[in-house]
Structure 1
Amino acid sequence: MKYSGWPDPGELVVGRIDEIEDFGVFVDLEEYQDKRGLIHISEVASGWIKNVRDHVREGQIVVCKVLDVDESSQQIDLSLKDVNDHQRSDKIQEWKNEQKADNWMGLAFGEDIEDEQYISIANELLAVHGSLYDGFKQAAIHGAEALEDTDLDDEEIESIVETARENVSVPYVNVTGYVDLENPSESGVDGIREALAAAEGNGDVPEEVELEVTYVGAPEYRIKVRAPDYKTAEAELEASADRAIAAVESRGGDGEYHRERRTDDE
């Protein structure tokens, strides 16, 4: 979905070259609704320009810097030469990410989502995470917790988290859980040690997964999992806890899995 407002001077924008004239280039702004800018020939490239078409072509996607905006005359002045390669690459990636996020909004709330609802949800994600893409990315990693500071309702949060976890690829995610292990039976400490070894996988944890079990305070142990994606991390976390509980119970003890750390008075 495109913004209905105007870009700000100094902002980098993505545009598609629509028309080339001897005096400059007209560009349709891809991120703004019904907005068109002009790159004067002097802003196309550094140095003397004999033919504008030697530097740009119609239909080309470009990244421009906004020089000036005159809303009364519907004029946006742009520069192509003031954008370096690093800025261009970062902006194009940002634009592509937002296109992905726009698609995820459709998956989460339906392609026929009303503009008013779309804008309301988008504004909440923008306010907390800076972009739609980062909002979905954080939801994929941290779940509903990533959206706690928004005013989204429970149903909207659930839709975003579910869609994010099915579609967002993140380099690695980290999840944490806790398991309480007690063993008043004769096997005592040995039973606990066996349970911890089971939690660590006894060498059977997938190669791409990092799993660590640490002591918090009797009878609580922390399980940390680092994996390429959320589903794998969550599955390995629960499997680790299940192994520990099964092992300690087989030796006459008790085990309980929980996601939040216990407080002293619980």
Structure 2
Amino acid sequence: MKYSGWPETGELVVGKVDEIEDFGVFVDLEEYEDKRGLVHVSEVASGWIKNVRDHVSEGQTVVCKVLDVDEGSQQIDLSIKDVNEHQRSEKIQDWKNEQKADKWMALAFGEEMTDEQYTNVANELLAEFGSIYGGFEQAAIHGPDALADTDLSDDEVSSLVETARENVSVPYVNVTGYVDLRNAGKNGVDAIKEALKAAEGNGDIPEEIELSVTYVGAPEYRIRVKAPNYKTAEAQLEESVARAEAVMEEVGGTAAFHRDRHTDDE
């Protein structure tokens, strides 16, 4: 995605060196449509510069700081020297993430996606999360709930969540569910204890998974799973519930799974 507007003063932008002159460097801005900026020779690097080409080359990707924008004269003044290595690395990563997100948009909505729909969806994600990539990342972690405050349609939310969960890699995700355990028999308490042990995995949970079962309020128990990705977390949650159900069925009890708490207190 390329923005149709203008960058703001102080903003970091990604560009490609298009032309090198003795007085400076012309840079095509990768994030903005038909926008080109000038890095004056004094802003290419610190200290005296004998030859600009000793510092930059044509076709090179650079990160610049926007010094000034004059829309009337169509001029954007940039600086390379005012960007430190940490800023450069972080900005390049953000830019690469947005390129990924641009491809995910195409996967989510396919060839039938119009420019108008792309713009509407992108603007919703930008307004809510600050970036399109951030929207996909939150959708992968939290599902439809992450997009609840946007004006996206149910179909758009569904497409974004499905694509996010298939493509976004996040360090860890957390999922939570609740199970109601009921057994009216004389050994009801013992049966529930066994069901809880089973839900926790009886010590047979993969090392990369964190799974805990905590008491909420009779007959409700909370199951929390922390895993490297959403699919794994959901699978572990389902298996945890299935183990508890198996134990309860053996003694004539029940185990009812649900996503939300029955009470209002945490």
- TM-score calculated relative to the size of structure 1: 0.97
* Cα RMSD after superposing both structures: 0.9
Tell me, in whole angstroms, the C-alpha distance in 2 between the residues paired with 1:211 and 1:39: 54
What is the match of residue 57 of structure 1?
A: 57
The one-character-per-residue Cα deviations of 1:107-144 (angstroms, maximum 9, x if unpaired) are: 00114522111110001111111110010000000000
Q: Does 2:9 correspond to 1:9? A: yes
What SS does the aligned partner of 1:157 have? helix
* Equivalent residues in 2 for 1:29-68, closer than 5 Å: 29-68=29-68
Q: What amino acid maps onto 1:179 in structure 2?
A: V
What is the alpha-carbon distance in structure 2 between the residues aligned to residue 23 and residue 127 of structure 1? 39
Any idea what the Cα deviations from partners look like across 1:168-217, whole Å, max 9, x if unmatched?
A: 00000000000000111122211011100110111222221110000000
- With over 3 angstroms needed to count, the CA separation of the structure-2 counterparts of 1:192 and 1:142, relative to structure 1, is same
User: Cα offset for 1:74?
Assistant: 1.1
1:71 corresponds to: 71
Cross-structure match for 2:132: 132
1:72-87 correspondence runs (5 A):
72-87=72-87
The ranges of structure 1 where at least 4 consecutive aligned residues each deviate by more than 4 angstroms after the TM superposition are none
Shift in alpha-carbon separation, 1:83–1:111, aligned structure 2, 3 A: farther
Residue of structure 1 in register with 2:143 after alignment? 143
Give distance in 2, aligned partners of 1:174 and 1:202: 21
Report the Cα distance in structure 2 between the residues aligned to 1:112 and 1:194, rounded to whole angstroms: 52
One-letter amino acid matched to 2:98: E
Q: Within 2, Cα distance between the matches of 1:254 and 1:53?
A: 75
Q: Are 1:218 and 2:218 counterparts?
A: yes
Give the secondary-structure state (helix, strand or coil) at the position aligned to 1:5: coil
Give the aligned partner of residue 228 of structure 2: 228
Where 1:176 maps in the other structure, the secondary structure is strand
- What is aligned with 1:168? 168
Question: Which letter maps to 1:129?
Answer: F
State the alpha-carbon separation in 1 of the partners of residues 38 and 212 from structure 2: 57
What is the alpha-carbon distance in structure 2 between the residues aligned to residue 258 and residue 53 of structure 1?
64
Matched AA of 1:55: H
Residues 63-113 of structure 1, C-alpha deviations (whole Å, 9 max, x = no match): 000011111111111000111111111101110110111110000011452
Q: Which residue of 2 aligns with 1:197?
A: 197
Q: Which amino acid aligns with 2:255?
A: G
Q: Percent identity?
A: 76
TM-score scaled by structure 2? 0.97
Task: Give the aligned residue type for 2:31.
Answer: E
Looking at structure 2, the residues matched to 115 and 9 of structure 1 have their Cα atoms a distance apart, in angstroms, of: 28
Q: Please, which moves more after superposition, 180-189 or 226-235?
A: 180-189
SS of residue matched to 1:2: coil
Q: Distance in 2 between matches of 1:261 and 1:231?
A: 22
* 2:249 counterpart residue number: 249
Question: For residue 14 of structure 1, what is the amino acid of its counterpart?
Answer: V
| Structure 1 residues without counterparts, runs of 5 or longer | none
